[in-house]
Structure 1
């Protein structure tokens, strides 16, 4: 959820810091106080399109920063963070967006500079903004198949994972087929290049691990004097009169002389005797190794020359000799495929066809599961629409597919199967089913969006849902129904709502008032959280529009009490 929002030098806002909590937070205020400007700032934080017009007049840059706390269902966000090398600690994500007066946009996630596209990837999974004219996901038909799959995740997940595996294999085989069936001139040039590389590597007569052995031998020859001195000094410290082994021998004999009188001395005498023989053996090994050492400047030159040749090959073919030899095997395999191209193309065609058939069967199963999910979704949506006094509205899910070229009517596969899914709505009896984006009435669209959002909120894993005046154009019992539906959504996701309806404001867990003041001869926006008495005054103002009356205050108290009772249901 969004817990902290900081906005500086943005439009008419000079500096505000807003704290948010779980549940439903309502923001109210007079028209022009800056409510929508706050939503504009959050949209930019989610990766929306920026403009220098947002930079407060007379300042060099506008800055927006938001702190989000992730829940246990945000695994996808952690995967995105890993993908871009962004560290998430203590389940916290900080998004930062700066827009300069020169038009530059600077984006950060947890302090790391990112592109606007990356910021948008995070923003779209943290914030879902709904208004009468814009929504981030529900209005876009490209998202409908994903939403349907989320709705039936338990039933569809296993089949979809298997389909994804087969589809990726199918794409990989197609890519290889395309590469192998490129024009003859490209194939000839590629074969010539591979033959040159093969010849260059084979002429080097590389031996596995050769570079490691040569580097070790070079180190020995380069540091011959240090190695010789270290070994000789160690040997001299152990061998001879008044040296290490002689003193160990004296100590061993001393313990042996008293071993028959004390069991501890006997035990330690045996231990020391064993250590003495080990040290004596070590001493002779050092002497023998010294005798094998021989400094050979010609051998050092040979090694340097050989390593130079190997390093030259490393720059072209791999980080080690083993990598180079592995690459040699790969190009030999590719050369064999190019030389026998027709045979391999025929084999690839067969593999592509078999993989397509396997993937198609999984896609067909996905289609069946989605149709079952669509029927259940339709029933649930109709129930939600009835709660919003749209009981005569109709919702349906359309399924379509495209034909794969050259496959005699076989469906064309894509990353989600062969289905192209779209949600359709008819707001009134007798009207044809239309795309969500083509529903004419703003009041109807608002209610339809709320109904769909209510069902998908728990499936999408969105941290914060924002409603910007989605209740415009409604009143009476419909306004109360919308208020109840927004409150229901807030039980599953954090909800921030800008509203002009007292029914919605009364449902708030937290009520914040946005006001516009003059400060140093300039307009500034301030946000304050209302107490219980202040809520009553603000609701009264929303009811009457002008003068506060005792009747309006009594009505406001009654609305708050009714809302409290509803939330406890």
Structure 2
């Protein structure tokens, strides 16, 4: 859940830090106080589109930072963090974003600089923002298949993974088939290029690891004098009268003459003898190696010339000789495929047929699983809609399964299903796509019904509702309040509302106010005590002056909300 949110120099916000708790947190306040600005900041923190307009007038940058605490080490965020080399300790994730007045956006996750796209990946797994505008995503049929798959994620995810693997293999084979069968001119030009590259590499007669070996030999010849002098100096320091080996021999003989009288000397005499013979052998090896050395300036020139040729090839075909030879193998295979195109096309066609059959079977399994999930989802949503006084509303998951009899069915990334949520808000009316039927108030309730269901499956730590209850009242408002409270049992919920029924359900109530200081407006956040909650609810009820009747009504609402939470906790 989101536990701490810091905002600085953002719109009318100077600097605020807000602590959030589990359950339902309600944000209320007058229009223009900055409630939606706080949600805007959270959306930007989750990777939303930024603008220099958000930077407070006179400031150089706007900054947002949020601390999220994960309640399980199985959260999908861990996999994302590992993917990008970000460490998550003690279940804490810190998202940070800075927008400069010059238009730059700087993003961090747990202190590590990331791109906006990566920040968005983390954000979508931690925060789910729903406003009247965001609700429109429910109307997009392209999202419906993802929601259905999410509903029965445990079974569908495995089948979908198998399908996607085969589908990607199929599309790769089809792409290769098209490349070989289309545009003879391009293929001919490609073959000419490959033949040129093949001849150029082959004529070089490269040997594996040749570049490394030549570099070593060049280094030896270029530093011949230093190497030879080093060998000679080392050899003559050991060999000859009054040199190292003679002194070691004297030490060895001294210990050998005394070892029988002392166990310690006996042990050291043996070690000394071994060391002496090892150094003597080393001396002879140094002399032998020095005898093999010969400075050959002609060979150095040959090496330089060969390395220049290899360097020229590296610029075209690979960073090492081994990579160049690997590339040679690839183009030989491609040349063979192009020159023997007909047989390869036949072979590819057979592979495509076999892979298509396997992919279609996986798509059919996905379809069957989705139909079962759709039945369960429909039943579940009808119950949720009934709780929201939409008991006469019919919901259905429509499958447009484009199966072509006698020919190949068109497959796509999600199988062969095209799914759309449909609804009829009045008895006797035909089912129609969601966006063609639902009014604003109905759509808000439908969205809450869906959110109540999917909150159990998404693993989102924080769900944010921004005035999704606009335009409702009476028993519908109470039903929405109860539904939002139920969702807060699955995920932390932050809710901006003008409904006293929703505010009464809050576990934490924060008041957003706008203050003027030094001729500048700024937003402040205050957590309300019980008595302050009553006053705020009273103002929300009357919309004007706070009266004793309104306060009594507010007190009663809080008591009813507490009883509801106790009975449905």
TM-score between both structures, scaled by the size of structure 2: 0.91
Structure 1's 140 and 86: CA in aligned 2 closer, same or farther, altered over 3 A?
Answer: farther
| 1:231-242 matches, cutoff 5 A | 231-242=231-242
Greater displacement, 322-331 / 14-23 = 14-23
What is the SS of the residue equivalent to 1:309? helix
- Residue by residue over 1:486-525, the C-alpha shift from the partner in whole angstroms, topping out at 9 and shown as x without a partner, is 1221222221100112221122222110112222234332
Is the 8 Å Cα contact of residues 148 and 373 (structure 1) preserved in structure 2? yes
What is the SS of the residue equivalent to 1:260? helix
Give structure 1 regions of 4+ aligned residues with deviation exceeding 6 angstroms: 111-115
The equivalent position to 2:554 in structure 1, one of 534, 553, 556, is 556
CA distance in 2, matches of 1:332, 1:166: 28
Structure 1's 562 and 265: CA in aligned 2 closer, same or farther, altered over 3 A?
Answer: farther
Is the 8 Å Cα contact of residues 48 and 120 (structure 2) preserved in structure 1? yes
Greater displacement, 85-94 / 26-35 = 85-94
Is the 8 Å Cα contact of residues 388 and 476 (structure 2) preserved in structure 1? yes
Is the 8 Å Cα contact of residues 5 and 67 (structure 2) preserved in structure 1? no
1:20 offset after TM fit, Å? 2.6
CA distance in 2, matches of 1:418, 1:211: 53
Structure 1's 484 and 238: CA in aligned 2 closer, same or farther, altered over 3 A?
Answer: farther
Is the 8 Å Cα contact of residues 403 and 416 (structure 2) preserved in structure 1? no
Is the 8 Å Cα contact of residues 128 and 135 (structure 1) preserved in structure 2? no
Structure 1's 465 and 566: CA in aligned 2 closer, same or farther, altered over 3 A?
Answer: same
- Residue by residue over 1:415-457, the C-alpha shift from the partner in whole angstroms, topping out at 9 and shown as x without a partner, is 1111111222223322332333334332222221111101111
Aligned to 1:152: 152
Greater displacement, 352-361 / 548-557 = 548-557
| 1:254-293 matches, cutoff 5 A | 254-293=254-293
Greater displacement, 14-23 / 375-384 = 14-23
Structure 1's 255 and 361: CA in aligned 2 closer, same or farther, altered over 3 A?
Answer: same
RMSD: 2.7
Unpaired stretches in structure 2, ≥5 consecutive residues: none
Is the 8 Å Cα contact of residues 137 and 143 (structure 1) preserved in structure 2? yes
Aligned to 2:421: 423
Aligned to 2:533: 535
CA distance in 2, matches of 1:261, 1:112: 70
Is the 8 Å Cα contact of residues 537 and 554 (structure 2) preserved in structure 1? yes
Aligned residue-pair number:
563
1:53 offset after TM fit, Å? 5.2
Aligned to 2:485: 487
What is the SS of the residue equivalent to 2:314? helix
Aligned to 1:200: 200
TM-score between both structures, scaled by the size of structure 1: 0.91
Aligned to 1:315: 315
Is the 8 Å Cα contact of residues 207 and 321 (structure 1) preserved in structure 2? yes
- Residue by residue over 1:138-170, the C-alpha shift from the partner in whole angstroms, topping out at 9 and shown as x without a partner, is 333212211211211111222211111111101
| 1:334-373 matches, cutoff 5 A | 334-373=334-373
1:409 offset after TM fit, Å? 4.2
Greater displacement, 63-72 / 479-488 = 63-72
CA distance in 2, matches of 1:59, 1:229: 71
Unpaired stretches in structure 1, ≥5 consecutive residues: none
- Residue by residue over 1:50-69, the C-alpha shift from the partner in whole angstroms, topping out at 9 and shown as x without a partner, is 5565555x436662413242
| 1:81-480 matches, cutoff 5 A | 87-90=86-89, 91-98=92-99, 100=101, 104=103, 106-110=105-109, 119-135=119-135, 137-402=137-402, 408-480=406-478
Is the 8 Å Cα contact of residues 51 and 99 (structure 2) preserved in structure 1? no
- Residue by residue over 1:292-344, the C-alpha shift from the partner in whole angstroms, topping out at 9 and shown as x without a partner, is 11111111111001100111111111111111111111111111111111111
Is the 8 Å Cα contact of residues 55 and 99 (structure 2) preserved in structure 1? no
Greater displacement, 245-254 / 169-178 = 245-254
